[in-house]
Amino acid sequence: MEATTSAAEKGQLSIHTDNIFPIIKKFLYSDHEIFLRELVSNAVDATQKLKKLAGFGEFNGELGELKVTVKLDEEAKTITISDRGIGMTADEIKKYINQIAFSGAAEFVEKYKEKEDTRGNIIGNFGLGFYSSFMVAREVEIITKSFQEGAEAVRWTCDGSTEFSIEPAQKEDRGTDIILHIAEDSEEFLMKYRLNEILEKYGKFLPVEIEFDEKIINNPNPIWTKQPSELKDEDYIAFYKELHPMSEDPLFWIHLNVDYPFNLTGVLYFPKLKNDFSIKKEKIQLYSRQVFITDEVKDVVPDFLQLLHGVIDSPDIPLNVSRSYLQSDSNVKKINGYITRKVADKLSEIFRNDREGFQKKFDDIGLFVKYGMISDEKFGEKAKEFCLVKNLAGKHFTFEEYTEKVKENQTDKGETVVWLYASDVQKQDTYIQSAQKRGYDVLIFDSVIDPHFINGIEYKIEKTSIKRVDADTLDKLIEKEIKLESVLSKDDEERAKKLFEETLGGAPKLTITVEAMPTDEMPVVITIPEFIRRMNDMAATSGQKSMFGDMPTMLNLAINANHPVTQKILNAASDGSEPSDASALIRHAYNLALLSQGMLSGSDLTAFVQQAVSRL
């Protein structure tokens, strides 16, 4: 029979300092709302323990309705958390409450570990959880009665000092009531909406029903606690809507379920990313035995996977003593690697089993796959099999397939296959049409990640160069052994170059060349060197200023030696006409070239339009 308490007993809490409560209040928990998570979690623990004992044959009574109740009394300024779990005897109160940081959950697990794995059902790992109540309460009462036969009810009271009172109490049923008398500086927690908000945040999926304001506020059996074989697509979509009520349906999902070498369950969803990074991260929630911990999962989940949505639950992820944030260890790294591998395997499986469906989804998941390829080497190796590129005709290709498609026509004299691409189809239309006249294929790389992606994969694909279609003249983009002949003599080419240099001397720095191009090409072609343009694009998507400034420090200007306008300029400069006639032609051709690159603006554009109108 237990030791009974026949009269009020006074005592001192077994701690090493008289200042423990201010320390707990100020340093242990950064957010005072955590008190409710801790107390409700403890109540759930007590309930789970009773279920386990019944399963072991050590409790033969009626379990009855098992739920945790949170009650708010605004008038009395109290919050009460009640359960019908195992309760405590007077001796257990002295042991578990009066000796701070003695973990009841840890002892329970140790005692029953030989019977079965109880860890998956016991939340608490820290005896300090109960003391979080003193962050918000001026006084805390515990009224409890053990499940043990013949047990007597006990009341424990403490006002936040090191003194406590323990005495007999009246309580008919087993279980524990924690009564918090809320302090003046914490009266925000006496508002119904505030408590509901906290319970929704931390207790939405606790494994025991939680009742507040006469309603059950949680789902005790979320889908990640079930086997995939028990679930249908509708179940996964319904759960996604539970997590993100206003979101579009996910594209697909991955059900995580592993018990060795660590325990991990969860469901990760692939949302539609809409081709930009505006989608908010922090959409993966981390739980420990169904208790919400954080949505900051950067150590557990690789950065690129944080674009996914969903839930991860693991008792093996190490938390700090207040269960507020992660602590790094080898398990975290293993879990990180496991999740990356599972995602890569899932994508590979969908690609192999439903190529057409995968291609339809790729516009939505391409951003994520590309981000993964450039940020995670192991994912990148696997993703080479299923990462797709799309051409202007809307057809998708793997890297290997695309190289095979274009190598015959787009291999340069150095045996390098050149991939041409456009980042803005409308703006680069002139250059695209020129490429297509040569029979060249053009890819579309127009997402915010593509400048970084192009830079990354160029090194992963042997003997391949990736160039934007307007990065140079076509003969330089894909240099062949055979070149077009110029109709101009060497002297005329030098004269043309000099005329352009003299006329455009005040323009931004230009590298001027005269090149033999088809007669149906532009008379003047302006390009931005691939390296400079790529660095500018990468800086822009990173939100940083390019080392080359807002505009490129250098433009390439190629004069088409075979275009009739070039001959017209030479004639205007040598047949006795005013020098201004040749200059006017040069400036007009130059402005056309700028316009084709989207680089003619402001007063220069206005003057060009007015000049064109005057010639009508």
How confident is the model at residue 613, as a pLDDT? 73
Is residue 374 one of the residues assigned to a domain? no
Structure tokens at 533: 């343009």
Please report whether residue 358 resides in a domain. Answer: no
Ranges of residues in the chain whose predicted pLDDT is under 50? 1-3, 16-17, 19, 27, 101-103, 116-127, 320-327, 546-548, 551
> 510 and 473 in one domain?
no
Q: Is 363 contained in some domain?
A: no
CATH number, position 256: 3.30.230.80
DSSP state for residue 411 in the 8-state scheme: B
Residue ranges making up the domain that contains 451 = 388-477
Specify whether 513 is located in the same domain as 608.
Answer: yes
Residues 69 and 122 in one domain: yes
Report if residue 366 sits inside a domain: no
Query: What CATH number is given to the structural domain containing 498?
Result: 1.20.120.790
- Residue 515 falls inside a structural domain: yes
Q: Which long-range contacts (CB under 8 A, 24 or more apart) does 225-230 make?
A: 225/265, 225/290, 225/313, 227/257, 228/255, 228/257
232 and 187, same structural domain?
no
How confident is the model at residue 117, as a pLDDT?
47
Asked if residues 68 and 176 have their Cβ atoms less than 8 Å apart, the reply is: no
Question: Pick from 422, 446, 477: which residue ends a domain?
Answer: 477
Annotated binding site for ATP: 38, 42, 83, 88, 103-104, 176, 323
Residue at which a domain ends, from 477, 508, 532: 477
pLDDT of residue 348: 95
Residues 153 and 175: their CA atoms lie apart, in Å, by: 9
Q: Are residues 568 and 535 in the same domain?
A: yes
Judge whether 1 lies within some domain.
no
One domain, residues 36 and 155: yes
Domain count, the chain: 4
Residues 308 and 394 in one domain: no
Is position 2 within any domain?
A: no
Distance, CA of 282 to CA of 302 (rounded, Å): 12
559 and 420 assigned to the same domain: no
CA distance 283 to 202: 15
pTM given for the model:
0.74
> Cα 461 to chain center, whole Å?
27
What is the predicted pLDDT for the residue at 456?
A: 85
H or E segment to which residue 580 belongs: helix 579-596
Q: Residues marked as binding?
A: 38, 42, 83, 88, 103-104, 176, 323
CATH of the domain at 457: 3.40.50.11260
Determine, yes or no, domain membership for 85: yes
Q: How high is the pLDDT of residue 321? A: 39
CATH number of the structural domain spanning residue 202: 3.30.565.10
503 and 453 within one domain: no
Select from 329, 353, 377 the last residue of a domain: 353
